[in-house]
Amino acid sequence: MASYHFVYEVPSETLSKKKIPVLDSEGNVVFSLQRYVRNVKDWVSIWRSEKLVMNVGVKNKENDTFLLTDTAGRVMYMLKKIMGKVNDWVVGWKKEKTTVNIAMKDNSNNLIMYIENIWLSRDEFTIYDPAREVTEPIVATTEMVKNTRKLSFTANGETYEIKTYIKNVHEVFFYKGDELIASMDCNPKETIKRNYIYIYQQKLDDKMFVCLLHVFDRAFGNTYD
């Protein structure tokens, strides 16, 4: 196989927050990857963005909406909605300790990309690239399909998938449609575990290849396991 394009050491702990240097084929550090946990302030912001709407309408059996005119009824309904949102926030905060949020920085410590678990979801991620002109983040979804682990997303109208197969979890493949554009080799025979990234076709930025492959590795625990 041709020489790798990028390599980095794999943390022994899946939930490690250690800063990981990413090296190119010449041994130069070009990026860093680091898992992080959002703080309480971030979660309050996320919670508010969910738009806590106090809808005082209910539906009868015929699915016709009508307003609750009884004051006590409105108050109880609103309290129920509030408690539901508070419960969501608490559940989300507890899950945050095990989420896969990855920040990528350049050598000047500038944030160039970050990928986060979506609110109350372990299977969906938002991909944020500050350099993109489009303000809406890309959404990626992970799933297990028979013996295949998969992460998929759409960018610029094109569908991309990252896959690995249970029979050989040490190799990860990155596709654009049916076209193999990159791969990652997780060599379990080395004393220090490393991920080697190979790019065959430059269909995405280097940072997208590296960051997404690392998120895939972290989302499924550890490709060495």
Same domain, 69 and 109: no
| 163-168 contacts, C-beta under 8 A, 24 or more apart | 164/216, 164/220, 164/223
- Contacting residues for 189 by C-beta, under 8 A, at least 6 apart: none
| 212 domain residue, yes or no | yes
pLDDT of residue 220: 80
Same domain, 118 and 79: no
Same domain, 52 and 25: no
Same domain, 89 and 104: no
- Contacting residues for 30 by C-beta, under 8 A, at least 6 apart: 6, 22, 23, 24, 106, 107, 206
Structure-model confidence comparison of residues 75 and 62, the more confident one: 75
pLDDT of residue 112: 93
Average pLDDT, the chain: 78
Structure-model confidence comparison of residues 189 and 32, the more confident one: 32
Structure-model confidence comparison of residues 98 and 217, the more confident one: 217
| 225 domain residue, yes or no | no
pLDDT of residue 202: 93
Residue with tokens 């500038």: 110
- Angle in degrees, 0-180, between the axes of helices 71-96 and 40-49, rounded to the nearest 10: 140
Same domain, 129 and 209: yes
pLDDT digits (tens, 9 = 90+) for 56-65: 344 444 444 4
What number is the average pLDDT over the span 158-185?
Answer: 92
Counted domains in the chain: 2
53 confidence band (pLDDT: 50, 70, 90):
very low
Domain that holds residue 78: 42-95
Same domain, 50 and 88: yes
pLDDT of residue 46: 52
pLDDT digits (tens, 9 = 90+) for 172-198: 999 999 999 999 998 767 778 899 999
Structure-model confidence comparison of residues 122 and 157, the more confident one: 157
At 16, which CATH number? Answer: 2.40.160.200
Last residue of a domain, one of 62, 95, 128: 95
Secondary structure E strands in the chain? 6-9, 20-24, 29-35, 57-59, 65-67, 102-105, 111-117, 124-128, 138-145, 148-155, 158-165, 168-176, 179-187, 194-199
pLDDT of residue 65: 44
| 1 domain residue, yes or no | no
